[in-house]
Amino acid sequence: MQLLNTSNITLERASNLKRTSGFIMAFLVMETTKQLCNYGLSESHGGKYPLPSTLLVLLIESTKLFIVLLYAVCTKESMREWRVCWRQCAPAALYFCTNLLYLVSLPSTSPPLWMILIQTRTLYTALSYVVVFGRELKAVQLVGCLLVAGSLPAARMSELHAGRHTLTTPVIIASQVAAGLSTGASLVVELLLKNDKRSMVEQQVWLYMWGAAMAAVSFAAQADFTLSHLDLRVGTASSVGYVAAAVGASALAGLCVPIVVKNLDTIAKDYMAALNNALLSVMTAMLFPMSFTLNHLYLLSLAVLVSGIWLYEKKRCPCWPPSPQDLLPEPQQDTEEKGEKIPPV
């Protein structure tokens, strides 16, 4: 079953892992830094943020908007021809809700466990490709996606084995809502980046502008908040440094996402973040040993997760003999000539 006529759109990869390796490494480094800085910001203030989550999202989106506008000025982008893009409102709203759920839930659980919880977005993305866009999904790829989802029980058992109860039902529910929203946002962004006639810079400007506007409205709606509620008293210099590091790392990680999605696809972005979780786990265990420890059950969940990702990308099990179709080279598609592009709004 296919819900969308894809005759005039494309979601094909415009590049490969080798040619995009520089952006991939930048994304992985910034993603790890983002997770550690945000968690450290919470831990340094007794399990809560010194700023409201809406204000943090506003600072992050504003930073991304500033960097993209600065890039547009430096590259002499023709900004006079830009027109308001309402299409970016939908992914901006989804990302805004996702970021809020992430910031609200992170003080309750460690970054590696949160990353494993939301990795079900790989399964959601694969199913969306099949149902919405009619993309072929081989049986071994489905098995890989199920293994990704199957890493969740092992992750929860690892926490129980360590004597912690951070993976509560509300955290699990929040993670799955965040995974679903993130999947929807990434797919819409991928669709627009690969098909809209607007430049990538223009699209990102509107995406971050709408995101900042939504965060500003939400922050202003907190009528009980005053500047006196800012909790930067505990080690003022270090607190401000933590906030700056968390905002900067989150912004840079967010800027790498559309580049990876445009050149590869949403599911590649998802499983690369999952692979990076191995490094994140080691770093978290070293920096926050009281909140997270490596044990055999967690390593099992990580192994199951990586195995599922590997099966999805390889598209066949190594113990199965390759079919004649597997031995044929994959057809090269010219994404510039395939169908009509979505006109700008």
CA 162, CA 247: separation in Å to the nearest integer? 31
**What is the rounded (10 degree) CA torsion for 213, 216, 217, 222?**
170
244-248 long-range contacts, Cβ below 8 Å, gap at least 24?
Answer: 245/33, 245/37, 245/41, 246/34, 246/37, 246/38, 246/40, 246/41, 246/56, 247/56, 247/59, 247/60, 247/63, 248/63
3-state SS assignment for residue 47: coil
Average model confidence (pLDDT) across the chain: 79
The amino acid present at 252, given as its one-letter code, is: L
- As to burial, measured by CB atoms within 10 angstroms (0-12 exposed, 13-18 middle, 19+ buried), residue 321 is exposed
pLDDT attached to residue 327: 46
Q: Are 67 and 185 in contact (CB under 8 A)?
A: no
Rounded alpha-carbon distances, angstroms, from residue 123 to 2, 84, 120: 17, 34, 5
Cβ-contact 189, 261 below 8 angstroms: yes
- pLDDT digit of tens for each residue in the chain (345 aa)? 445 445 567 777 777 667 777 777 888 888 889 999 989 888 887 777 888 889 999 999 999 999 999 999 999 888 888 888 888 999 999 999 999 999 988 888 888 888 888 888 888 888 888 888 777 778 887 888 788 777 777 776 776 666 666 677 888 899 999 999 999 998 888 888 888 888 899 999 999 999 999 999 998 887 555 555 555 554 455 678 888 988 999 999 889 888 888 887 777 777 777 677 778 888 888 888 888 887 887 788 878 877 887 787 776 665 555 554 454 454 444 444 444 455 565
Contact status, residue 243 vs residue 41, Cβ threshold 8 Å: yes
3-state helix vs strand vs coil in the chain, percent to 5: 70, 0, 30
Distance in angstroms (rounded) separating the CA atoms of residues 36 and 33: 5
Beta bridge partners of 342: 196
Residue type for 305, please? L
- Cβ distance 107 to 49 under 8 Å? yes
Query: What pLDDT does 343 receive?
Result: 57
Phi, psi of 236 (to 5 degrees): -50, -50
Give the HSE-up count for residue 105: Cα atoms under 13 Å, Cβ half-sphere: 27
**Which residue ranges make up each domain of the chain?**
21-316
In order of 18, 67, 143, 172, 212, the CA distances from 36 in angstroms are 27, 22, 31, 20, 23
pLDDT for the residue 336: 43
Interval 23-59: pLDDT, tens:
778 888 888 899 999 898 888 877 778 888 899 999 9
Q: How far is CA 112 from CA 22, 120, 147, 219, 261, in A?
A: 24, 14, 17, 28, 22
Q: Which pLDDT score is estimated for 66?
A: 96
Note the pLDDT of residue 2.
47
β-sheet bridge partners, residue 196: 342
Q: Which of 34, 89, 40 is nearest to 273 (CA)?
A: 34
Q: Which two tokens stand for residue 278?
A: 């191995």
